[in-house]
């Protein structure tokens, strides 16, 4: 569901840039079953291909793509980094993590955008495994 919500952001032509667990809100029904996921806080978002003004990386956060600091063009894959960080937090509470999923999460942390998986790939894998 998280991946679906993120895909929608990208389809709308936006890069969130600050994609972390705090900015994901899960809406549950009365029985506590998760029904919908909302992505919030678009304070740092830019349009796909847009740039952030370069900033010092002293305040570096693990889910921020390097483009966030360098002022390079932002793209959907910039948010894949944050998606990976979220998945790592989720996988932490699982006793057993499928190897495929572990590898996919590792790929989300690649420095090169080209080496990172597409959100779609992550989504398809999650749908297949869960
Ligand atoms: Zn980037």
* Per-residue CA distances from 82 to 17, 19, 86, 92 (Å): 8, 5, 6, 15
Distance, CA 30 to ligand 1 centroid (Å)?
39
Average pLDDT for residues 78-95, to the nearest whole number? 93
User: What residues form DSSP beta bridges with 47?
Assistant: 14
pLDDT given for residue 121 in this prediction: 97
Distance, CA 32 to ligand 1 centroid (Å)?
35
pTM for this model (two decimals): 0.92
Convert the pLDDT of each residue in 94-120 to its tens digit: 888 999 999 999 999 999 999 999 999
Residues at Cβ < 5 Å from ligand 1 ion:
65, 67, 78
pLDDT given for residue 60 in this prediction: 79
CB half-sphere exposure, 116, CA atoms < 13 A = 21
pLDDT given for residue 95 in this prediction: 86
pLDDT given for residue 32 in this prediction: 87
Distance, CA 88 to ligand 1 centroid (Å)?
19
CB neighbour class for 119 (10 Å; exposed up to 12, middle 13-18, buried from 19): buried
- Superfamily of domain 2-129, CATH level 4: Transferase(Phosphotransferase) domain 1 (1.10.510.10)
Distance, CA 29 to ligand 1 centroid (Å)?
35
**Average pLDDT value over all residues in the chain:** 93
Distance, CA 67 to ligand 1 centroid (Å)?
4
pLDDT given for residue 59 in this prediction: 72
pLDDT given for residue 42 in this prediction: 97
Q: How confident is the model at residue 61 (pLDDT cuts 50, 70, 90)?
A: confident
Lowest mean pLDDT of 28-37, 56-65, 70-79, 91-100, name the range.
56-65
**Domain locations in the chain?**
2-129
């Amino acid at each position: 569901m998280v991946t679906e919500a993120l895909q929608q952001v990208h389809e709308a032509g936006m890069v969130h840039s600050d994609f972390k667990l705090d900015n994901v809100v899960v809406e549950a029904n009365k029985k506590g079953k998760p029904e919908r996921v909302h992505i919030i806080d678009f304070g740092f978002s830019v349009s796909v291909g847009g740039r952030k003004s370069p900033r010092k990386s002293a305040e570096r956060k693990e889910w921020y793509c390097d483009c966030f600091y360098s002022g390079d063009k932002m793209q959907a894959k910039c948010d894949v980094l944050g998606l990976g960080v979220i998945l790592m937090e989720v996988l932490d509470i699982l006793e057993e993590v499928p190897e495929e999923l572990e590898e996919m999460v590792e790929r989300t942390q690649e420095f090169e955008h080209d080496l990172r998986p597409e959100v779609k790939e992550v989504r398809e894998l999650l749908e297949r495994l869960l």
